[in-house]
Amino acid sequence: MGNNGRMENGYPAVVAASVTVARPRLMNAVAFWSLLFLSTAAGNVLAHGMRAWRDAQPFAALGTSIEEFSSALSTLALLVVLHAATRRWPLHADTWRRRIGFYLLGGIAWWLLHVSMMVLLRKLAFALVGQHYTYGDWPAQWFYEFFKDVQTYSLLVIAVHAAAWFGRRRQGEAHLLAEPDDGPPIEPVERPQHFLVRKLGKEFLVATADVEYAQAAGNYVNLRVRGHDYPLRITMAALEQRLDPAMFLRTHRSWLIHRGQLRSIEPLDGGEALLHMVDGARVPCSRRQLPTLRQALAGA
C-alpha cells in the first residue's frame, strides 16, 4: 500500500499503533514463556533418554522429541489466548464471583484444544518421517490428559494473574484522589490536578499535566507518564470527563492524548490518522475524531 495506508507487520498502520506501547512487554512475555516451555520439553526428552540408558532400554529419540515439543508448542499457542483473556476479563476481588464460571469452562476448552492441537502436530510430524502416530483409546487416554491439562491451565491462570499483579505493584498503579475524611479537599476531586500512585508499598502524586496519553485496557486506563504506564481503574469515558478538555483530547474510543505532547499528524487512507507523540509513540486517531482534533488544535 501507499505511504498513507501502509501495512506494518501485517496489520494496518492504525491498528499497529494501538500496540506500540505494549509491544516490548509482550515480546518479553513471549520470550519468557517460549524459553520456559521449550526448555522444559528438551529437559523431558533428556530425562526419558537418561531413564532408558539407566534401564538398558531402547530410546526412540525422534518420537519422544515430537511428543514433548508438540505438547509444548500447543501450550504456547493456547497461552497467547489465555493471556489475552486474562487481560480482558481479569479476576479481581469484585469480579471473580461472576467470572469464575468462565474460567472453569476455559479449563475444559483448554483440555480439548490442547489435546486436539497436540495430536494433530504429532500426526503431521510422524507422517513427515514416514511413520504413523496413534494417540490412544477414548476415553482413557483423553481423560488421562484431562487431569494434566487442568493442572497446567490452573497454574498458568495463577501465574499470569500473579505476574500482572506484580507488574502493577512494581510499576505503580494510579488512583483518583479521594475526598479527605476531615476538612476540605486539597484540590477539586472532579477535576484532579494529581493522581495518587501506589508503587511497591509507597504512595506519591503524579501531576495530571505530566500524563502524555492514555490507553484503555479492559477495566483499566493506562496513564503514560515519562516512559511508564500507570493503570487507573476507570473507563475512558469517565476519565475524559475528569480531565481538562483544554489540555486533553480524545482521539479514539481507546485513546486520549495531552495536546502538548503531540508532535505531528500523519493522515492515512480511509480518513484515519497516526499521531506522532513527543516520546516517539504512535497513537491512532479515528476518522470521526480527526476533524474534532484538528478544530481543537486550530482553536489553540
Tens-place pLDDT, residues 169-198 = 777 888 776 655 555 545 545 678 888 888
Tens digit of each residue's pLDDT, the chain (300 residues): 434 444 443 334 444 444 444 555 667 788 899 999 999 999 999 999 999 999 999 999 999 999 999 999 999 999 999 988 988 888 877 788 889 999 999 999 999 999 999 999 999 999 999 999 999 887 888 888 999 999 999 999 999 989 888 877 777 888 776 655 555 545 545 678 888 888 777 888 889 999 999 999 877 888 999 888 888 888 899 899 889 988 999 999 999 999 999 999 999 988 899 999 999 999 999 999 999 999 988 875
Phi, psi of 242 (to 5 degrees): -80, -20
User: Exposed/middle/buried for 276, CB within 10 Å: 0-12, 13-18, 19+?
Assistant: middle
3-state secondary structure of 274: strand
Say what the pLDDT of residue 24 is. Answer: 58
On whether both 97 and 116 belong to a single domain, the answer is yes
Say what the pLDDT of residue 290 is. Answer: 93
Say what the pLDDT of residue 203 is. Answer: 82
On whether both 62 and 48 belong to a single domain, the answer is yes
Taking the complete model, does pTM exceed 0.75, yes or no?
Answer: no
On whether both 103 and 133 belong to a single domain, the answer is yes
Say what the pLDDT of residue 189 is. Answer: 54
On whether both 281 and 146 belong to a single domain, the answer is no
Query: Of 120, 146, 171, which residue is a domain's last?
Result: 171
What is the Cα–Cα distance from 223 to 215, expressed in whole angstroms?
7
On whether both 12 and 120 belong to a single domain, the answer is yes
CA distances from 153 to 106, 135, 187 (A): 9, 21, 46
Vertex 35: Cα angle to 29 and 41 (nearest 5): 135
Considering its fold, how many domains does the chain have in total? 2
On whether both 148 and 199 belong to a single domain, the answer is no
CATH of the domain at 247: 2.40.50.1020
What is the Cα–Cα distance from 81 to 156, expressed in whole angstroms?
12
Domain holding 183, by residue range, is 174-299
Residue 119 near residue 135 (C-beta atoms within 8 A): yes
Tens-place pLDDT, residues 236-263 = 998 998 899 889 999 999 999 999 999 9
